[in-house]
C-alpha cells in the first residue's frame, strides 16, 4: 500500500507539473484584452474570497462598465456558487484567459512568477497587513522550505516589479514596503479596504454578526489569532501549529460568560479537535471575513501577526503572547517595531501571565490606554472608512 501511495503522489506531482508547463506556454500568447474591461480578484492564493480584494469587489460588482471574476481554488467553488460570485478555478483554461485578458488584477499576496502579466493589465496589490515581522529583502536568513535566501529575495523583487499600485495603511508601511519589496511604483495610502467595516459598523451590526456566527449575544468573546512559524513547515506553503497554552485553563479563568474563537493564519494546516468544548470554543479559521471576527471580539490575543494593527481601530484590549520570542526575534524573522516597547497592549511572557492578563483585561472598565491611543494616531488615524471606494475609483480611472 505504501508503494502504491508513493506512486500516486508521484503521478499527481507529474500531472501538476505538466499542467503548469502547458499553462506557462499558453500564457506566452499575446492575447487581446476582453472587449468589456474585466477585473480579476484573488485572495490568499485563491484559498478564500475575502480580505481587501473582496471589499473592493463589493464596490465594483454591480458596475455595468466592467466584468468581475474571482480566481479561486477548487474548494471555493461551492461558496462562489452559493453567493452568486463569478469565478475561474486556478490553472484552468478559463482562469488562464481571465488572467491574460483582464484589464486589472486585484490581489493580496504574491502570485507565482510564471504567471505573466500583460502590459495592458493594471496590477493593484492590496497586501494583507501592516508589517510587524520582517518581510522580503529584510529577512536576512530565510528558513522556508524549497528555497534559499538568495532565491527568495530574487523572487520577491521579480514579483513586486509587476505591481502598478500598492495599497498601504500609513507612511510607516510605505517605508517598509520600499525596503522589503524594493518597490518604487505608486502607493495608494488610504488604509486597507477590509477595515472600512471596522469604522462604519455600529452596535446593531455587531449584534447581527453575533447571531450570524452563532455566538450568544450576552457572552463576551476572546479571539486568538496567531501567525505561522517559518521553520514549522509541513510542505511548501503549508505550516504546522500547536496551541501554546491550555484551552481548558483559559476557559476556566475567563468563566462561563465568555466564548473563545480561533483564527489561524491562512498558511496553517491541520484542524484542532474542539469537539469536547461544545460551543465554548469556535474555530473560524476558514471564515471569509476576519473583520466580522474583530467586531464581535471584546479582546484579542496574538503573537507576531499583523492582525493587531487592524484590531487597534476598535480601541479594544490586545494581549501579546510571544511564547517563543527569543527564537522568533533572533533566528526566524525579527521585527520592525520594538516589540517590548511599541505594541498597543500588554505582553504575557508565559501561560500564567496570559491567563491573569486575559481575565483582567476582559473585565476591567473600558478605558483606552495612552499607549493604545498613541498607536492609533500613528497607524490608524488616516483611514476614513472609504478605502475600498477610493481604490475602486482609481482602478476605473486607469482602465477606462
Same fold? 22-192+385-399, 197-379: yes
What pLDDT is attached to residue 223? 96
The string of DSSP codes covering 41-81 is EEBGGGTBS-HHHHHHHHHHTT-TT-EEEEEE-GGGHHHHH
Give dist(CA 263, CA 285) in Å, integer.
Answer: 4
Please name which of 168, 174, 213, 207 lies closest in space to residue 191, comparing C-alpha atoms. Answer: 168
What pLDDT is attached to residue 219? 95
Average pLDDT over the chain reads 89
CATH topology for the 197-379 domain: Rossmann fold (3.40.50)
Cβ neighbours of residue 372 closer than 8 Å, sequence gap 6 or more: 312, 315, 318, 344, 345
Q: Which three cell numbers stand for residue 141?
A: 536568513
Mean pLDDT, residues 186-205 taken together: 95
Residue 221, H or E segment: strand 220-224
Q: What would the pLDDT profile of 20-63 be if each residue is shown by its tens digit?
A: 888 888 888 888 999 999 999 999 999 999 999 999 999 999 99
Q: What would the pLDDT profile of 63-75 be if each residue is shown by its tens digit?
A: 999 999 999 999 9
pLDDT band at 239 (very low <50, low <70, confident <90, very high): very low
Q: What would the pLDDT profile of 255-272 be if each residue is shown by its tens digit?
A: 889 999 988 865 544 566
What pLDDT is attached to residue 15? 81
Give the number of residues written for the chain: 400
Lowest mean pLDDT segment, chosen from 35-44, 120-129, 232-241: 232-241
Cβ neighbours of residue 287 closer than 8 Å, sequence gap 6 or more: 213, 263, 293
Q: Where are the domains of the chain?
A: 22-192+385-399, 197-379
pLDDT band at 231 (very low <50, low <70, confident <90, very high): very low
The pLDDT of residue 230 is above 60: no
22-192+385-399 is classed CATH 3.40.50.11820:
yes
Residue 353 phi/psi, 5-degree rounding, is -65, -40
Residue 144 exposed, middle or buried by CB count within 10 Å (0-12, 13-18, 19+): middle
Pairing of strands 281-283, 186-189: unpaired
Q: Is 182:153 a contact under the CB 8 Å cutoff?
A: no
Q: What would the pLDDT profile of 340-397 be if each residue is shown by its tens digit?
A: 999 999 999 999 999 999 999 988 766 668 889 999 999 998 888 999 999 999 999 9
Amino acid at each position: 500500500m505504501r508503494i502504491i501511495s508513493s506512486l500516486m503522489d508521484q503521478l499527481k506531482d507529474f500531472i501538476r507539473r505538466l499542467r503548469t508547463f502547458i499553462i506557462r506556454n499558453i500564457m506566452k500568447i499575446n492575447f487581446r484584452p476582453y472587449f468589456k474591461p474585466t477585473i480579476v480578484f484573488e485572495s490568499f492564493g485563491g484559498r478564500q474570497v475575502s480580505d481587501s480584494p473582496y471589499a473592493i469587489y463589493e464596490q465594483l460588482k454591480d458596475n455595468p462598465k466592467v466584468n468581475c471574476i474571482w480566481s479561486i481554488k477548487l474548494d471555493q467553488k461551492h461558496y462562489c456558487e452559493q453567493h452568486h460570485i463569478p469565478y475561474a478555478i486556478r490553472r484552468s483554461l478559463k482562469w488562464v484567459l481571465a488572467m491574460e485578458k483582464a484589464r486589472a488584477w486585484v490581489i493580496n499576496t504574491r502570485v507565482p512568477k510564471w504567471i505573466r502579466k500583460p502590459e495592458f493589465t493594471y496590477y493593484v496589490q492590496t497586501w494583507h497587513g501592516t508589517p510587524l515581522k520582517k518581510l522580503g529583502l529584510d529577512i536576512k536568513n530565510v528558513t522556508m522550505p524549497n528555497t534559499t535566501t538568495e532565491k527568495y529575495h530574487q523572487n520577491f523583487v521579480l514579483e513586486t516589479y509587476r505591481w502598478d499600485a500598492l495599497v498601504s495603511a500609513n507612511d510607516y508601511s510605505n517605508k517598509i514596503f520600499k525596503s522589503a519589496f524594493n518597490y518604487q511604483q505608486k502607493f495608494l495610502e488610504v488604509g486597507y479596504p477590509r477595515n472600512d467595516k471596522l469604522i462604519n459598523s455600529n452596535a446593531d451590526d455587531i449584534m447581527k454578526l453575533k447571531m450570524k456566527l452563532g455566538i450568544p449575544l450576552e457572552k463576551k468573546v476572546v479571539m486568538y489569532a496567531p501567525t505561522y512559524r517559518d521553520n514549522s513547515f509541513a510542505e511548501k506553503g503549508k505550516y504546522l501549529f500547536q496551541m501554546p497554552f491550555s484551552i481548558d485553563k483559559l476557559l476556566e479563568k475567563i468563566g462561563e460568560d465568555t466564548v473563545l474563537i480561533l483564527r489561524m493564519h491562512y498558511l496553517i494546516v491541520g484542524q484542532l479537535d474542539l469537539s469536547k468544548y461544545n460551543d465554548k470554543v469556535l474555530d473560524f479559521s476558514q471564515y471569509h471575513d476576519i473583520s466580522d471576527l474583530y467586531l464581535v471580539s471584546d479582546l484579542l490575543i496574538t503573537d507576531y501577526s499583523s492582525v493587531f494593527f487592524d484590531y487597534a481601530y476598535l480601541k479594544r484590549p490586545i494581549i501579546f503572547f510571544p511564547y517563543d520570542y527569543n527564537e522568533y526575534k533572533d533566528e526566524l524573522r525579527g521585527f520592525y517595531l520594538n516589540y517590548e516597547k511599541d505594541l498597543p497592549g500588554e505582553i504575557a511572557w508565559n501561560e500564567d501571565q496570559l491567563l491573569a492578563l486575559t481575565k483582567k483585561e476582559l473585565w476591567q472598565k473600558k478605558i483606552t490606554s495612552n499607549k493604545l491611543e498613541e498607536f492609533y494616531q500613528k497607524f490608524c488615524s488616516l483611514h476614513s472608512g472609504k478605502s475600498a471606494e477610493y481604490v475602486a475609483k482609481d482602478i476605473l480611472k486607469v482602465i477606462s
